[in-house]
Structure 1
């Protein structure tokens, strides 16, 4: 399986490909959040029902803003979100009505994170937008913790793996509802 640098990754993603990449705690699968064909391919590879929705990761909030409906959030709620970013915190936030249902699933919200992981930041900066993020595993299997784990599940069906190392988090990101402040995971 090919090891890809950020410029190669952006080309693959812009052409509708799916890649694996290291995140804060596990390897993720990613694609262009504005390409429903690519999202559908990712969901099929993972065997994940579209109704569950996905996460978007970004290098800064401005990349996520076009997908979100900030008018449903108070200034205090937004300040709470911003106080935890960049970092291993995913927030469930209200979504714009024109966003693909493949991203938000059967919900009127979207899971989003501004990552501090240098690899994710490099990919998103090169793309100029967020990246779809879901753990690199077939639904029901353990998340990939190494390139070998990614190869075991996805060799020949994804374009490659971003070079870099996993972050130091022991578990996937904490998920928080931005409106209620409730910790979901």
Structure 2
């Protein structure tokens, strides 16, 4: 049984400089003292705890209902902290840090033995580390003065939170506090990479740093994507093994020629409505008016997939709030951040993907 607690909310959206630091001081003290605190990043809200403390990290797993073999990403505010956590980074790792930190890139590195709680690494010899590009996150991490393990601040398997309200909806009474600084930016979790030698970058989880951006940063590098983990393997990164990002209703991802996609979704939604089921559609602005489901959410223009990434999780949570039982989502091209968007939608759909 999870022990309930009073969840404090610190609203810092309009604060700057010293006023921001003053408001964050209590949250930082809680982190140093073994507490669990949700905070915004440029990707999604994270649920933080001192990565060195097994008791504190254990509270993350308890609050989220997260499987123990799913490793956590460690967040830092200063590159100098890396020396305490990981063995000497390679030249390729240094190049990626120079280009993308702070930012939505997690790099898997060899971990220093005995520094972090074994719950953080899930027994692996590596740890994923990133430096978020968010003023409040960086201020909180600096004040806490410790490496902070922080998965997304939601119940495991549910859509990740892009607003403090989403965190409270899932975790109120289960965590010590939430730092509320409004909506996050990217809307999808960080890209996670591991490095094989000096010229190979393997994408374990696509995210805000795209394959194309990595290639531009290291023109001669070989960039590939890891396949899904075998069931018996411990995942090397969050988001590789378990079902994630799922709404309560059954979601189906539909790809093909636009006119065929619209026809299929209209037919399926109509049949579901005739059965008395509440229906929902996630569609791009170009075709939004063609659907007559009970709940239709815009992902923005198909030519601006960054907007779709930003809107996805809030839309899925909106479907839950509306009691939607059957959902259909239009697929998108897997270029740029579209690769991460398709990755999350496929996982939210439990890989129910239809080609028409």
Aligned to 1:85: 101
In the other structure, the counterpart of 2:123 is: 106
**In structure 2, what is the Cα distance between the partners aligned to 1:23 and 1:77?**
22
4+ residue segments displaced more than 4 Å: none
**2:91 pairs with 1:75:** yes
Residue equivalent to 1:3: 9
SS at match of 1:142: coil
* 5+ residue gaps, structure 1: none
What corresponds to 1:59 in structure 2?
77
For structure 2, the 5+ residue unaligned runs are: 1-6, 11-22, 206-356
SS of the equivalent of 2:160 reads coil
User: Match of 1:31, SS?
Assistant: strand
Q: Deviation at 1:22?
A: 0.9
Q: Report the Cα offset of residue 54 of structure 1.
A: 0.4
- Rg larger in structure: 2
The yes-or-no answer on 1:149 pairing with 2:166 is yes
- Answer whether contact 1:19 1:158 (CA < 8 A) is retained: yes
1:170, CA displacement in angstroms? 3.3
Answering whether residue 202 of structure 2 is matched by residue 182 of structure 1, we say: yes
Per the alignment, residue 338 of structure 2 pairs with none
Partners of 1:67 and 1:55 in 2: how far apart? 12
Q: Sort the Cα spacing of 1:162 and 1:136 in 2 relative to 1 into closer, same or farther, 3 A.
A: same
SS of structure 2 residue aligned to 1:30: strand
SS at 1:183 equivalent: strand
Q: Give how far 1:113 is off.
A: 0.3
1:116 and 2:133 matched:
yes
Normalising by structure 1, we get a TM-score of: 0.91
Q: How many Å apart are 1:18 and its aligned residue?
A: 0.6
**Higher RCO structure (Cα 8 Å, ≥6 apart):** 1
Q: Distance in 2 between matches of 1:181 and 1:47?
A: 31
Distance 2:204 2:92 in 1: 19
Distance in 1 (CA, whole Å) between partners of 2:183 and 2:130 is 16
Indicate if the aligned counterparts of 2:41 and 2:137 stay in contact, CA closer than 8 A. Answer: yes
